[in-house]
């Protein structure tokens, strides 16, 4: 999937987290930011990704050590992040946002023909039975639908007032 699709899914994750925890304005902005960044984070292993271009040196070394869609797209990586966030006593709404953002990325990449090495270091590619080409019409449609979903969650009280 493209960065736009991952970011739009992160936006939806953030919106749903805000809705669930009923956060204040500052926390809500932080949640949205963390959700979008964490939904892009697993692609740090790809130098041409949105996040890889921001951290070229780190991206280069991660790619050199692990390759693309391996360690950073795995249950092991997500577990390490959970442990680190727990160790620094991250508030639950931030922890959930970051983990769900990363999981959304991995799940979306499972919709591509290449899949991901979710059980890394076990070299098995995990993908869904129905896959789509990255950057194709389905990818763009999915990004649009996720953005519309996030917009709905953000403005749900106003939409309900308008129609009901």
Residue 32 has pLDDT above 80, yes or no: yes
CB under 8 Å to 124, separation ≥6 — which residues?
Answer: 117, 118
pLDDT digits (tens, 9 = 90+) for 53-85: 999 999 999 999 998 899 999 999 999 999 999
Q: What angle do CA 77, 82, 85 make, to 5 degrees?
A: 125
Q: What is the DSSP string of 120-142?
A: TTS---B--SS---TTSHHHHHH
In the chain, the number of structural domains is: 1
Query: What is the extent of the structural domain holding 73?
Result: 1-161
State the Cα–Cα distance between residues 72 and 63, nearest whole angstrom.
10
Residue 133 has pLDDT above 80, yes or no: yes
Residue 135 has pLDDT above 90, yes or no: no
């Amino acid at each position: 999937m493209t960065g736009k699709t991952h970011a739009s899914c992160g936006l939806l994750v953030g919106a749903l987290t805000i809705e669930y925890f009923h956060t204040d304005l500052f926390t809500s902005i932080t949640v949205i930011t963390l959700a979008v960044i964490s939904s892009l984070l697993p692609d740090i292993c790809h130098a041409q990704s949105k996040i890889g271009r921001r951290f070229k040196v780190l991206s280069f070394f991660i790619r050199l050590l692990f390759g693309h869609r391996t360690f950073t797209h795995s249950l092991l990586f997500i577990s390490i992040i959970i442990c680190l966030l727990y160790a620094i006593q991250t508030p639950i709404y931030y922890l959930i946002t970051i983990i769900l953002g990363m999981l959304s990325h991995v799940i979306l990449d499972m919709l591509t023909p290449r899949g991901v090495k979710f059980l890394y270091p076990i070299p098995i590619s995990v993908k869904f039975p129905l896959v789509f080409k990255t950057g194709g019409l389905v990818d763009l449609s999915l990004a649009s639908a996720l953005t519309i979903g996030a917009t709905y969650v953000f403005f749900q009280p106003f939409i309900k007032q308008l129609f009901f």
